[in-house]
Structure 1
Amino acid sequence: MSEEDNALVNQSESSSFEDLATAHEIEEAKLAEAAAAETEKPIENKTDEWQDVLGSGALLKKILKPGDESEGLRPHRSDICRISYELKIRGGSGDIFEKRDHVKIYLGDNEILQGLDLALTLMYKGEECLLQIAPRFAYGDVGLKPGENQGLVGESTPVNYEGPVIGPETWLEARLELHDWSEEPEHETLPIAERMEIGTRRRARGNWWYGRGEAQLAVQLYRRALDVLDEAEGGITEPTPTGELAPTSDELRALLEERLRVHNNMAAAQLKAGVYEAALQAVTRVLSCQPQNAKALYRKSRILSAMGRNSEALDAARAAAAAAPDDAGARKELHRCEQRATRDRSVERRLAKRMLGTQAPKGTPDKKPSKAKMLMWGLLSLLVGVASVLVYRYKMQGH
């Protein structure tokens, strides 16, 4: 994220995802195949051996305690799973650097490391297992350094990492237990306070993924946050013609404001992922309720610039700078758009001159000879004259 983008993002915490191609669907397909193959194995062969979950060696699983397979049920995407886990570096000192007991997560939302999330789809109630997780399903190329936010779900304040440096080639070893799970309730049945809690934690986790350069995973979390923050039938009315929110309860107002924060953050993630149309839709939703939202105006300018709509980007940049005159990022964006507009006007003038014939094309000869050319022609004329005189005298002598 650029410095100017950070300046506006930090002022307030901060489409569709169908047009973002991710590897998640591929991994889910692999998991489905692995689950089908696993059910065909005899129970006695499922313990004391490492199973290659994805078939690529990137996620290995060994069952320590079999779960309840009597009904053959496993959790599915969006189910609320109650789990315990601990993490350590494979081949390291053996120290546990992260441990959570009986924490609730929404399966498939990447609220935990991807390796843990994927493994849960192959576990039964009460099952306990060991996992070996490749970097791509752990902390990726970014890794994790002491003092950085671990992004622990369910924590009201950020928890900083205190273990050794985890590099881009670091494998992890995990101990994971699935206690039980339940289906996600219909959002309409949840009280507003609970919706706010769920939506806020999904946005926070999306911010964590965005900060690590995982824009697509961030969009997934933001979309899930929007699902639970939707209150179409709860009293939120359309904005008034002036752009101000219509009078409503404090709870509903807070819910809508949180929803707008999510849209704003999702626009940044979609911009980073190159999905410009979806990003523009996200900021448009924000500006329809908050026309002077400086962060949305700033991002709208960035999005329009990426789309090549420079004149519209300049208008948005001017509005952002007017809404936040003291913000360095907004001023820098305006300066960049003004410079681009100046260059565009210069190019247009040159093209107009050439089209109208008021400027000679490059490579055409000058209409007025230069002094060097005039001197050369003068010398040639003199030589021709001298030669003519000599020829005439020679002929006369011959007669």
Structure 2
Amino acid sequence: MSEAERTLVDKSESSSFEDLASAAAHEIEEAKLAEAAATEKERSPEIRTDQWQDVLGSGALLKKIVKQGNESSEARPQRSDICRISYEVKIRDTGDIVEKREQVKIYLGDNEILQGLDLALTLMYQGEECLLQIAPRFAYGDIGLKSGESLGLVGELESPKYEGPVIDGDTWLEARLELHDWAEEPEHETLPIAERMEIGTRRRARGNWWYVRGEAQLAVQLYRRALDVLDESEGGITSPTASGALPPASDALRALLDERMRVHNNMAAAQLKAGAYEAALQAVSRVLSCQPENAKALYRKARILSAMGRTSDALDAARAAAAAAPADAAARAQLQRCQQRAGRDRDLERRLARRMLGAGDQSAPASEPDKKPSRAKMLVWGSLLLSLLVGVASVLVYRYKMQAH
């Protein structure tokens, strides 16, 4: 096993390692933001509107207020609050517009917008407007953004494509951001099913966007938040019956369950990509407990078990996935990979068994290893004897000829 594989296995020992890493990162950022907020509060309004503030102390996120907000209550939005904002994002060096949205609602801290905007909102007052300079790590990262790729705008399942120059890992952005107002996130149980579906679906879509970009950790965060709001309401679907069938439920609740299964499936894929195998296995197991023939869950279960080295179990899951979706090329390919790996494992076991039996077989006599050397010696002595006989015969013939003369 390679060092990288050992690292991934180590990660999977804790099913919530990505949550711990995420929590630690949030604590660090929140501490920096709290320090920045305290520093900003000490400055006079004149200074604050004329200068760029280094929000995180690293130069990666700069903020300048262009319109003061309502500071009378000293209230600022907190994580999970629903913020109503307007913003415009441009490439700093060229001025090309990347995103522009008006009066959009986002859940603060859910990475529904670029991280630089998300972080800046925690330092803003109601009605405040500011300019931001955002380093790549808090924008589109090392992956960047190319023309034709999805912007992943929250609340839009069919997000528009980006049309502009390439944004690479060195591209800084500039943004104008306005915080209109905010409200606390309501208890999910109080929301109608239709609204919960809408929230859960938008979080799943944004999580998918992060996943496609290779940001598995951010995708998992969005999927977990989606599951929070898609959880069953009291009296709804809880678990299958003893026979494996689901109890009767309304169409709305069944739609809610289907959406939850999609989120669990996607989260398993993200956790697999992050190396959290145990957590990924738990996610697909939840899907299969309600939908035993879910081909996508069976396929991902095969991949997860294969990554964990559980070849036999992976082969069973791959066979089930191929049976559930016989026309699916990915399922057939996974079955073939599992069969090949199982064959290699069997060959290795046979070779090891032969070696062990050969090393442990004490039934042969001790002189047996000398058989081949003994035959060789006999051939040598036979050759010598034949040479001697030929020599004696030659001498006799010679003497006979001499006597005849």
Task: Summarize the Cα distance change of 1:178–1:355 in structure 2 as closer, same or farther, 3 Å threshold.
Answer: same
2:18/2:217 contact within 8 Å kept = no
Q: Which residue of 2 aligns with 1:35?
A: 37
Instruction: Name which of structure 1's ranges 23-32 and 285-294 shifts more when overlaid on structure 2.
Output: 23-32
CA distance in 2, matches of 1:223, 1:273: 15
TM-superposed deviation, 1:216:
0.3
Superposed displacement of residue 166, structure 1 = 1.0
How many residues are treated as equivalent by the alignment?
A: 366
Gap runs ≥5 in structure 1: 1-14, 387-399
1:237, CA displacement in angstroms? 4.1
Note closer, same or farther for the CA distance 1:374–1:89 as it changes in structure 2 (3 Å cut).
Answer: same
Distance 1:350 1:17, change over 3 A: closer
Q: Distance in 2 between matches of 1:172 and 1:257?
A: 38
Q: Give the aligned residue type for 2:38.
A: A
The question of whether the paired residues in 2 share the 8 Å contact of 1:111 and 1:205 is answered with yes
Instruction: Confirm whether residue 21 of structure 1 aligns to residue 24 of structure 2.
Output: no
Q: 1:353 to 1:177 in 2, by over 3 A?
A: same
Summarize the Cα distance change of 1:65–1:20 in structure 2 as closer, same or farther, 3 Å threshold. same
Classify 1:142/1:18 alpha carbon distance in 2 versus 1 (closer, same or farther; 3 Å).
closer
Report deviation, 1:169.
1.1
Deviation at 1:241, TM superposition (A): 3.2
Spell out, residue by residue over 1:315-355, the C-alpha distance to the aligned partner (whole angstroms, 9 max, x if none): 11111011111111001111111111111111111111222
The 1:275/1:382 distance shift into structure 2, 3 A limit, reads same
**Larger Cα Rg: Structure 1 or Structure 2?**
2
Cα deviation code 1:188-213 (max 9, x no counterpart): 11000000000000000000000000
**Paired position in structure 1 for 2:269:** 268
Does the residue aligned with 1:131 lie in a helix, a strand or coil? Answer: strand
Structure 2 distance, partners of 1:237, 1:51, is: 50
Distance 1:306 1:31 in 2: 39
The answer to whether residue 111 in structure 2 is matched with residue 110 in structure 1 is yes
Alignment TM-score, normalising by the size of structure 1: 0.86
> In the alignment, residue 200 of structure 2 is paired with which amino acid?
G
Structure 1 equivalent of residue 47 of structure 2: 45
Aligned partner of 1:224 in structure 2 is: 225
User: 2:170 — aligned with what?
Assistant: 169
Distance 1:108 1:376, change over 3 A: farther
Q: Equivalent residue for 2:70?
A: 68
Contact 1:19 1:275 (8 Å CA) reproduced: no
What is the match of residue 240 of structure 2? 239
Separation in 2 of the partners of 1:268 and 1:224? 16
**Corresponding residue of 1:374:** 376
Q: Note closer, same or farther for the CA distance 1:269–1:156 as it changes in structure 2 (3 Å cut).
A: closer
Unaligned 5+ segments in structure 2 are 1-14, 362-367, 389-405
Structure 1 residue 382, shift from structure 2 partner? 4.8
Q: Is the 8 A contact 1:353 1:359 kept in 2?
A: no
CA-atom RMSD, angstroms? 2.5
- The AA in structure 1 aligned to 2:318 is A
Percent identity between the two aligned chains: 78
Q: Which has a greater percent of helix?
A: 2
Q: Tell me which residue corresponds to 2:135.
A: 134
AA aligned to 1:21 is A
Q: In the TM superposition, what is the alpha-carbon distance from 1:146 to its structure 2 partner?
A: 1.2
Give the Cα separation in 1 of the matches to 2:370 and 2:211.
62
Q: Look up the SS of the partner of 1:56 in the other structure.
A: coil
In the other structure, the counterpart of 1:85 is: 87
- The answer to whether the 8 Å contact 1:17/1:220 transfers is no
Quick check: 1:351 aligned with 2:352? yes
The SS at the match of 2:50 is coil
Q: Which amino acid aligns with 1:193?
A: A
Q: How far off its partner does 1:368 sit?
A: 5.3
Give yes or no for contact 1:130–1:174 (8 Å, CA) kept in 2: yes
Which residue pairs with 2:8 in the alignment? none
